[in-house]
Every structure is written in structure tokens, then in C-alpha cells.
Structure 1
Amino acid sequence: MILRPVRDDDEDAELVRQITAAAFAPVPAHALGAGPPARDARAARERDRARHLAGTDPGGCWIAEDEVAGPVGVALSSRREGTWGLALLAVTPGAQGKGVGKALMARAMVHGRACLRGVICCPPDPVAARTYRRAGFTLHPAVRLAGAVDPARLPAPDGAVHEGTERHRDLMDSVDRRTRGGAHGPDHEVLFRHHRLLVVDDLAGSGYCYADERGVEALAATSRRLATRLLTAALLSAPAGRPVRVAGLTAEQEWAVDVGIAAGLEIANAGYVCLRGMRPPQPYIPSELFA
């Protein structure tokens, strides 16, 4: 087996997508967006993320290739202002249990060796959880909210929420630094391309939320009150009757669980938010694309 960097081109972006699809198939029954348009949109997001991170963090993105089986695993990671994030670790079924994931994780972590903090969104997979714990991460159990929003049960936001633009980049980076210790920086370019951006900015503080028809991708704010306002606005904007999803909620995000309960969403266990060198950010919903 050899490890090689992910190239910033369409061929490797599609290869990363194929490895990911093989590693996480079959899709769980509760997964959202099963129709062809949603699958195409998800594939586009994954390819865009792969090319983006291969360009910004070539030292953190690796593909594992077997002499016989070909590409069998991939790791995508980033380094942002002292915070290292693992965006993806995927190994095809036939190569699992053979040290591929461990080797990819070790190589990706070299990219973050100078970082004080680390963040990973871990699926409900015992092998992945063991890998991250052995790498020195604390596993914080997380839940997800899922289902169709009942707008009649959800109170209106307690203040103004605005459509965000790329001009809000400095605001978002500032909120990121306050909540997670490091800005997402260039990652906002990808998030903005594929999601609607909601922003609050008033005398009480500031915050932002990325959302689409599938649910919430990321949220950060300077207070629980503003985070509640943003999440409420995002859920109320969901298409009527369509299931949405909000994942990565640790015990520190009870404000988000309360909003989900008010909206009629179901709560279920959903893996871990894995952290190193930091306490759980709050109020914060991690990005499953970038952590």
C-alpha cells in the first residue's frame, strides 16, 4: 500500500467521492435527500470539498492505493489558525481492518502537528471512534435532530435574521475564533456556494448559519439566544413537509435540542464530536463538510 497526496483536479475529486460512497454504503434509512437531484447535489459538494482542500491543504489530503485493489481509502484534513480539522476519513469495505485508516489518520495528523486544537465529526461507527480515541481525541457523544418541521409549533425568531453574503466573511471568521479557536477562513467559499447563509449582527452580538433544503450544515454565534434565533429561522425556511437534519449536537448544545423539540423533530444518537486541546465549542453546530 502506498499513500499519495490528493491532486487538485476533477479526476481525484471524483475518486474521493467514489471511495466515500463505497465506504459509507449502504446509506442509512434515516439519511435525507435520497432522490437523484439531492444525490447529484451531494456529489457536487463532495467533489468541490475534495478539490478545495487539496488546493488549500495538500499536506493534509491523502489517498491510499493498494497494488491489486487500487484506491482503497482517503483522508481530507485542514489546518486553520491553530485548529486542525479532519473533514473525511473513508476506507472501502474490502480494505477495512487492515491498517489503512490508521495509516491515513497518522499521515493527516502530521499536517496538524503544530496545531493546539483538533476537531472531528465522527459517525456512529465503533471502528472510527476507536481510531480517533487512540489518536488522542476526547469523544463527546452527539445527537441529531431529524424530521419534517412543524412551523405551527415553532415560535417566530425573537429578532432580525438577514440573508448573508460573502461580505460577512470577517464577521464569520470572528465568530469562529470565539467559538472554536480558529476561523474557517477559505472554507466559507465552499460553504457559501452550496448553502444559504443566514446572519445576525446587532448590539447583542453576532452569528451565522449555513442551511439548505436538507437542514443545517453549520452554525456559530456569540450567545445561545442568537444561536436559537438563527436555528429557528433556518428550520422555518425549510421546504414544507420535507425532512431536515441537524447533526453533531453535544450536551453543550441543549439550546439546539430545545429548538428541535419545539419544531417537532425526532432526537437520536448520532456518533461523536471528537475534540483535542479544547472544550466543546458553544454555541456551535459543526460542519459535517469541514468540522
Structure 2
Amino acid sequence: MILRPVRDSAADADAVRELHRAAFGALERELGEPPRPWDQDRIAGHLARTRHLARTDPGGCWLAEDGGQAVGAALSLRREGLWGLALLCVLPSAQGKGVGRTLLDHALAHGHGCLRGMIVVSRDPRAARRYHAAGFRLHPTMALTGRVDVAALPDPGGIPVHLGDASHRPLLDSVDRATRGAGRGPDHEALLRTTEELLVVDTLSGSGYCYRDGGEVVLLAATSKRLAGRLLTGVLARIPPDREAVVGHATAEQDWAVDVALAGGLSVRTRGFLALRGMRPPAPYLPSGSYL
């Protein structure tokens, strides 16, 4: 087996996508879950994420090859004092041979010196065991899904929510530092390119932001639960009526999100884990699986 850095190329991005599709498709079948479709938007977002991280974090993105075939991949990032794992996947035929452990070790080395670490973990019990062994604490997460009953959403309370753009970068990084202890830096550029809209709230008492793509709440962060709840209310109200809303990766600390989502008619189920090292679950915060 050979390990090499993931290149910022269409070929490597597609190889990582195929590994992801094969590994997580097998996991969905194993768990009896319906397969998540790979539509054009999902494919484009996955390819863009891989190439973005290959550019910003070449030391944290690795591809494992055996006989010229890609058999595993890891994508990780470091932002200020925070390290995050965006993806770890191994072909089913190559699992149980130490490929995942080797990839994780190389990705973790990219975070040397970082005081905090974060991983959004699937329902795979093997992954949870691997990250726990690496020193991460596992926090169960919830997914809230369904069609939004806009009329039943909480009263916005007079707090304005408006569209954001690249000019809000200082505000976004300020909120990131307040919630998770590290700015997001260049990841906001990638999120602005690959999501449908950015919503921002900025008041004398605090600030917050949220990225939405179709029916998915991709990422939300705010300096108070009140502002986070107002943001989520505004985002859910903007989801097209023919689209299912998806609010993912909510830990028990995100009770404000559960309150808003259930009031709006969504259903709740357990999903996986948020694995953290050197930090408590950020709050109020809903992480992105791709950019944490």
C-alpha cells in the first residue's frame, strides 16, 4: 500500500468521491438505511470540497493506493487552533487491513499542536470506536427532517435576518471564534460558492449566520440561543414547500434547534456522533459534515 497526498485535480477529486460512494453505500446497506442519492448538486459539492481542502490543507489530505487502485482516503483541515476530519473512507474490500488506521494517523499528524479537534461521525460503530481510541469523546447527535409547517414556526420576535455575502467575512469569523474557538477562514469562500444562500443576524446583543442549500441547513453558528433560534426559524421558512428540510448533527446542547424544528413539524431521530477532543460541544452550533 502507498500513501500520497490528495492532489487538487479532477481525477483525485473523483477518486475520493467514488471511495466515499462505495464505502458509505455499503454502510447504508449494512444498517438497512435507504441510499442517499448522488444528484448533480451533491456530486458538485463533494468534488469542490475535496479540491478546496487539497489546496488549503495538502498535509492533511491523503489517498491510499494498492496496486494502482485507490482504496481509501482521508481529508482533514486545521483552522487556527482547531483540527477537523472532514472524511475518512475505505473500500469495503480493503477494510480490516489497517488502511483506515494509517490514514487517520496521517490526518491526525496534520493537527499536531492544535488544542481542539472535531469529527462528525456516521452511525458506523467501527468509526466511533476508532475515534474514541484516538482520544475523542463521543456526543450523540440528532437529525431533524420533514416538510416545514411555516405557519407553526415560532414568532421571530422582531429580530431581522438578512442575506449575507463575502463582505460579512469578519462577522462570520468572529462568530466562529466565539462558538468553536477558531475562525473558519477560507472555508467561507468555499461555502459561499457551493451553497444556495447565507443568512446573517447582527444585533447589539450578538451575531450569527447560517448556510442553506436547498432543504439542508448546512451550518449554523450564533453567539446566543435566542439568535440561533431566530436564524433557524428564518432558514426553515425559506425552504421551498416541495423540499424536505434537513437539520443535522444536533447534540443535546442544541435544545433551541429541537424546539424550533419540532414546532415547525419536523421529526427527530438519532443520527451518529459529534466526536470532540479538548472541547465541549460548541453551542449554539450545528456543524457542517464537510467543513465542521
TM-score > 0.5 by shorter chain: yes
CA distance in structure 1 between the partners assigned to 2:189 and 2:33 by the alignment: 31
Alignment of 1:267-282 (within 5 A): 267-282=268-283
Q: Do the aligned residues in 2 keep the contact of 1:123 with 1:270 (CA within 8 Å)?
A: yes
RMSD (CA atoms): 1.4
Q: Corresponding residue for 2:213?
A: 212
> Within the alignment, does 1:242 sit opposite 2:240 as a pair?
no
Q: Corresponding residue for 1:118?
A: 117
CA distance in structure 1 between the partners assigned to 2:35 and 2:291 by the alignment: 19
Unaligned runs of 5+ in 2: none
CA distance in structure 2 between the partners assigned to 1:144 and 1:85 by the alignment: 21
Deviations 1:120-157 (A, max 9, x none): 00011101101110110000011110111111211242
Partner SS state of residue 246, structure 1: strand
Counterpart of 2:225, as a letter, is R
Partner SS state of residue 39, structure 2: helix
Q: Do the aligned residues in 1 keep the contact of 2:141 with 2:249 (CA within 8 Å)?
A: yes
Check 1:30–1:171 CA distance in 2 against 1; reply closer, same or farther (3 A cut).
Answer: farther
Deviations 1:22-78 (A, max 9, x none): 11115575666x4xxx7111111111111110001000000011127x111100000
1:184 Cα offset (Å): 1.0
CA distance in structure 2 between the partners assigned to 1:262 and 1:215 by the alignment: 17
Q: Do the aligned residues in 2 keep the contact of 1:61 with 1:76 (CA within 8 Å)?
A: yes
Check 1:96–1:183 CA distance in 2 against 1; reply closer, same or farther (3 A cut).
Answer: same
Q: Do the aligned residues in 2 keep the contact of 1:221 with 1:284 (CA within 8 Å)?
A: yes
Alignment of 1:133-212 (within 5 A): 133-158=132-157, 159-195=159-195, 196-212=197-213
Counterpart of 2:20, as a letter, is T
Unaligned runs of 5+ in 1: none
1:231 Cα offset (Å): 0.6
CA distance in structure 1 between the partners assigned to 2:21 and 2:246 by the alignment: 20
Counterpart of 1:288, as a letter, is G
Percent same amino acid at aligned positions? 56
Which stretch shows the higher mean deviation, 71-80 or 206-215?
A: 206-215
CA distance in structure 2 between the partners assigned to 1:25 and 1:132 by the alignment: 21
> Which TM-score applies when normalising by structure 2?
0.95
Deviations 1:100-119 (A, max 9, x none): 11110000000001100000
CA distance in structure 2 between the partners assigned to 1:71 and 1:57 by the alignment: 20
CA distance in structure 2 between the partners assigned to 1:122 and 1:254 by the alignment: 20
1:10 Cα offset (Å): 1.1
Which stretch shows the higher mean deviation, 143-152 or 21-30?
A: 21-30
Q: Do the aligned residues in 1 keep the contact of 2:25 with 2:35 (CA within 8 Å)?
A: no
CA distance in structure 1 between the partners assigned to 2:148 and 2:35 by the alignment: 16
Alignment of 1:53-132 (within 5 A): 53-67=53-67, 70-132=69-131
Counterpart of 1:76, as a letter, is L
Q: Do the aligned residues in 2 keep the contact of 1:149 with 1:241 (CA within 8 Å)?
A: no
Between the two proteins, the alignment pairs up a number of residues equal to 286
CA distance in structure 1 between the partners assigned to 2:35 and 2:64 by the alignment: 27
Check 1:30–1:183 CA distance in 2 against 1; reply closer, same or farther (3 A cut).
Answer: farther
Partner SS state of residue 184, structure 1: coil
Check 1:281–1:30 CA distance in 2 against 1; reply closer, same or farther (3 A cut).
Answer: farther
CA distance in structure 1 between the partners assigned to 2:155 and 2:192 by the alignment: 25
Check 1:47–1:120 CA distance in 2 against 1; reply closer, same or farther (3 A cut).
Answer: same
CA distance in structure 2 between the partners assigned to 1:29 and 1:71 by the alignment: 26
